[in-house]
Amino acid sequence: MKMALRWYGPGYDTVELKNIKQIPGIQGVVTSLMGKLPGEVWTDEGIAGIKAAAAESGLEILAFESINISDDIKIGTNKRDEHIANYIKSLEAAGKAGIKVICYNFMPVFDWTRTDLWREREDGSFTLAYNQDIIDQVNIDDLKESMEKMSGGHLLPGWEPERLERIRDLFAAYKDVTEEILFQNLVYFLNEIEAVCNKYDIKMAIHPDDPAWPIFGLPRIITNKEQIVRLLSTVDKPHNNLTFCSGSLGTNPANDMVDIIHAAKGRIPFAHLRNVRHNSATDFEESAHLSRDGSVDMFALIKALHDTGFEGIYRPDHGRMIWGEKALPGYGLYDRALGAAYMEGIWEALEKVGM
């Protein structure tokens, strides 16, 4: 079991590696080549560069999050096989560099969705939030301007300018893609990359959809236990795994996340742990990692990981902006450091008490 922190790389992240290194329990970072668009090849040189940057601060890269999958692969266009061939080259480069875990998602158009990146909480901190009533009123033509205004000048992964510029075309391309078509395209992708994953012992860890239900009429296929179990059983191979994300699965109170961890036992090489607070049936916000600050029982989740023999990578996921910090939304230093210490404390207690 290794604790990591998400780091976006030189020129993209407001948090310095030397400060990440000072967080007790942190053994490395998970990162990506932010300049690469979905469908492009990750090169040996690009990976070597970001590995060297991490190594200078005494940190290793524990996983890539994410080598993004193009919409052509998700939709199944005539460019799908070309983009899968490029993806295989990227996995080859990652494998040669010793990277064994790849977090990815199969969400149409958006990697994640929030309606507010700077909601002020009662304690004076700022956090990411979602209100379904707002989403229901959104005109997709206004998304580019809205996200640029909310981002505070930061490049938001999954909401890159190139993607926002063609948002209308992307929606049109998905108009005939059902949940079943999307699922079968995922299965096709996983089968095509099996050989390279086996060669380098790479575990592909799919990230749940965020939030865990369809939005803007787009299909979502990794939102609950049934869908996760179906994927793991349909491609019942060592390279097909789950990134357990309490923040994404926890957006839907109906998800029994302890049950999901047990159902995916042995297939979780990577875990994102964050808390969310449900204010109403249509509104949630990301809270402090502490269980009682939100609606997620963090102790129960970490205990479930411990009980199922989890030996993978885990990280404190999104944090609030506290103590006046200005950073990439959700990815400041201070609150994630508090979360890391809290989770390490729970894990140490479980180990010593032997629960």
Q: Of 103, 104, 210, 245, which is the active-site residue? A: 245
Catalytic site includes residue 207? yes
Catalytic site includes residue 210? no
Q: Of 83, 207, 239, 289, which is the active-site residue? A: 207
Catalytic site includes residue 245? yes
pLDDT score, position 164: 65
**Mean pLDDT per 10-residue segment, the chain (355 residues):** 93 93 96 90 95 94 94 96 97 97 94 87 95 83 63 56 73 94 98 98 97 91 98 98 97 97 98 96 95 97 97 96 94 97 96 80
Catalytic site includes residue 169? no
Residue 122 burial (CB count, 10 A): 5
pLDDT score, position 170: 87
> Helices 298-307 & 334-353, crossing angle to 10 degrees?
50
Angstrom distance (rounded) from CA 103 to CA 99: 11
Which pTM was predicted? 0.94
Using alpha carbons only, what angle is made at residue 44 by residues 38 and 48, rounded to the nearest 5 degrees? 105
Angstrom distance (rounded) from CA 347 to CA 341: 10
Q: Of 13, 72, 210, 317, which is the active-site residue? A: 317
pLDDT score, position 148: 59
Catalytic site includes residue 272? yes
Catalytic site includes residue 176? no
In sequence order, what are the residues at sequence separation of 6 or more whose Cβ sits closer than 8 angstroms to the Cβ of residue 275? 246, 247, 250, 286, 287, 288, 289, 290, 291, 293, 294, 295, 296, 298
pLDDT score, position 171: 86
